[in-house]
Amino acid sequence: SSSSAAQRFDLQSVSTRLGKKTIELQGIAKTYGDRVLVEDFDQVIVRDARIGIVGPNGCGKSTLLKIIAGQIKPDSGEVVVGDTVQIGYFAQDCGEMDPSQRVIDYIKSFGETVQTVDGSVTASQMLERFLFPSDLQWNTISRLSGGERRRLYLLSVLMTAPNILLLDEPTNDLDIDTLMVLEEYIEGFSGAVLLVSHDRYFLDKTTDHTLEFQGDGRIRKYLGGYSAYLNQRTPEPPARRSDDTEKMKVEKRKPSPKHPK
């Protein structure tokens, strides 16, 4: 049951100690063909940041995470990364998994143990927390469902003891119990978290700042989680009103449809 999932997760989240200087984005810009995804974007990611990233599909949210993770170079601007920063990047696809490998061996390949505030936790204990009981740990990956593989991939990212977590659509294909474990994990996590999601409930539970991709490369910053962001997302004064803000007003009045995946 979901309550037992929550109870099982009692120790604080795993992370490597993070120094004062984390990550700073300075004048970041990125264009693909004639599409401007990010333009002149500055952001200091503070040590305990909880930032939700929202906007329509294909507007550049994943690209921004990849720039922060160092997987994509910006066209201009700089990503300054502190010495103690250890990034854990959870992508939308799970990458390559060897279907013949056992679940426990896959996780051990990322770390045999991880340090928490309460001492070290073994790979097997971490698997238990993420709802892989001991009998399932000896299964081969080929026997796991799609959702179980995604959960295993999530855990592999956490086993590297990151202190900055970049999560790209982490709620896709995860069941309610796993989402509860992940919410608790983020709550106890002592580093910074940036996450891209269309899941409003999850964003409200896990974030306190919001970055909204507005199209044309502009990213607007809001204080608060998803509900607070919706409340603040008001049109500009009439003198400066643009077509965009008119559109936003109309959108705001319409009941919001559920986002497609």
Model confidence pLDDT, tens digit, residues 173-199: 888 999 998 998 898 888 999 999 999
Percent of residues, the chain, with pLDDT higher than 70: 80
Rounded to the nearest integer, the mean pLDDT of the chain is 84
Give CA–CA dist 76/128, Å, rounded. Answer: 44
pLDDT of residue 121: 87
Give the number of other Cβ atoms within 10 Å of residue 183's Cβ: 17
Q: Which two tokens stand for residue 237?
A: 């004064």
Of the two residues 214 and 10, the one the predictor is more confident about is: 214
CA separation, residue 84 to residues 19, 160, 163, 205, 259 (Å): 6, 14, 9, 27, 37
Prediction pTM value: 0.80
Query: pLDDT grade, residue 16 (50/70/90)?
Result: low
DSSP H or E segment with residue 45? strand 35-45
- 3-class DSSP state of 32: strand
